[in-house]
Amino acid sequence: MNLEDAKRLDAADPLRSLRDLFTLPEGITYLDGNSLGALPRATPERIQRAVEQEWGQGLIKSWNSAGWIDLPRRLGDRLAPWLGARPGEVLVADSTSINLYKVLHAALQLQQGKRRVVVSERSNFPTDNYIAQSVVRAHGGELILAESPEDIPPLLDEHCAVLMLTHVNYRSGRMHDMALLTRWAHQAGALAVWDLAHSAGAVPIDLLGAAADFAIGCGYKYLNGGPGAPAFVWMHPRHEGQVWQPLTGWLGHASPFSFDSDYQPAPGIQQYQCGTPALLSMTGLDTALDVFDAASKLGGIKALRNKSLALTEAFIGGVEERVPGAAIATPRDAALRGSQVSFALPKGTDGYAVMQALIARGVIGDYRAGNPELLRFGFAPLYNGFADVVTAVNAIADIVATGSWNTPQFTSRSKVT
């Protein structure tokens, strides 16, 4: 595919109008929406209004007059259809790590001490495994890490309390079969906890259909809520009222403004709120969800998924054709592929330096250390197009072929890689 072909495909894209809802810098090809989503055009004005009018003029009255107190539940209701959940089941609050801490504790409590093993993957996003290490230590349990997806089923035995997985692996972009693995976990007597950080807003999710137990995820990747945007948490209704989540803060109380001295949990997902919500961050996420309202009128997640698969397929084909020795780490099978493509370069080529050289040319992806080290490119179907694919492939091929990455400017590592 050449650039002219790509532009023709973009012109015919039924989702093309969604790109206009974002601020994308001139001359930049942004393929890192799986780390930080692009800025919706409406967000700055909406946050400014929250600052100047709701905070500046409304002051504390805005907890009621501007609906601040209901925002965590209202955002959860807006997000629920994109997660395969129902209104009233999702709460936007805190960070992904904190929410994972809550639900892992709750899941182990549901096992009533009879099982204490949490199973996950070694390649899971590190913070998930770090949180799991803390939780199992508190419960006198053990975290067991599978070396590959194929190693997971044998670990679902009579000792397993919780299967904790990220739906789309942050390194490889491989997507698990949520329904199948949840079923296997349940057949073994375990519960299933899913991290949707690299899924929400980009791939189809059906929490209720999969009969998952708990789910968490962040608001700043494909959801475009902005840096530090709040996360979300979901609990299957069958677990309501059976256990307390461990961070029993005042806004998770059944009646927070009665100021009782004893804690009584709110019903349902509301008890998973802990402290005062970060209203300005939530306002950014609220505005970003307007874009998904627009997408729902253009085919919703099915249309986004079809476009995502077409973009990632074109990118994989371009890299394989133009970059000798590149080893694609992302599955070619569409059923196993999220909305990103990762690949390794031949030994002796510094992947970090290649990515810095690429960024200097205006093509932004990211690098992940490890064995192998990977270059990652996230395709956000809301705003990425086929011209982005061709531009990125051309730049990668030229940088690798010419060795222009091999300079101190690019090989010197920054604090954030």
- H-only helix segments in 242-331: 279-296, 300-322
290 is in an annotated binding site: no
CA distance 175 to 238: 26
- Taking the C-alpha atoms of residue 356 and residue 293, their distance in angstroms, rounded to an integer, is 35
DSSP per position, 209-234: HHT-SEEEE-SSSTT---TT---EEE
Q: Is 127 annotated to bind ligand? A: yes
The answer to the question of whether 276 is labelled as a binding residue is yes
Residue appearing with tokens 């803060």: 249
Ligand-binding site membership of 166 (annotated)? yes
> Do residues 25 and 363 make contact, with C-beta atoms less than 8 angstroms apart?
no
Burial class of residue 249 in the structure, from the number of CB atoms within 10 Å of its CB (0-12 exposed, 13-18 middle, 19+ buried):
middle
Is 195 among the annotated ligand-binding positions?
yes
Q: Is 293 a catalytic residue?
A: no
* Among the listed residues 35, 40, 13, the one whose alpha carbon sits nearest the alpha carbon of residue 311: 13
- Single out the catalytic residue among 78, 221, 361, 368: 221
374 SS3 class: strand
- Catalytic residue status for 383: no
Q: Annotation-wise, does 125 bind a ligand? A: yes
Residue 195 catalytic? yes
Query: What are the distances in angstroms from CA 44 to CA 97, 226, 284?
Result: 27, 11, 8
Q: For this structure, is 263 an active site residue?
A: no
Catalytic residue among 376, 377, 379, 386, which?
A: 376
Active site residue 125: yes
23 marked as part of a ligand binding site: no
Cα angle 229-230-234, degrees, rounded to a multiple of 5: 140
Q: Single out the catalytic residue among 22, 125, 214, 222.
A: 125
Q: Which of 220, 272, 343, 379 is labelled catalytic?
A: 220
Instruction: Name the active-site residue from 13, 32, 195, 388.
Output: 195
206 is in an annotated binding site: no
- Residue 55 CB coordination number (10 Å): 16
What are the residues whose beta carbons fall under 8 Å from the beta carbon of 42, sequence distance 6 or more? Answer: 21, 287, 290
What amino acid is encoded at 147 in this protein? Answer: E
To the question of whether residue 312 is assigned a binding role by annotation, the answer is no
Would you list the DSSP string of 311-338?
A: HHHHHHHHHHHHSTT-EE-S-SSGGGB-
Q: Are 285 and 225 in contact (CB under 8 A)?
A: yes
Count of other CB atoms within 10 angstroms of residue 123: 19
First to last CA, the chain: 31
Residue 315 is assigned to a ligand binding site: no
Catalytic positions are 125, 195, 220-221, 376
Residues in the annotated binding site: 96-97, 125-128, 166, 195, 198, 220, 250, 276
Residues in the annotated binding site for pyridoxal 5'-phosphate: 96-97, 125-128, 166, 195, 198, 220, 250, 276
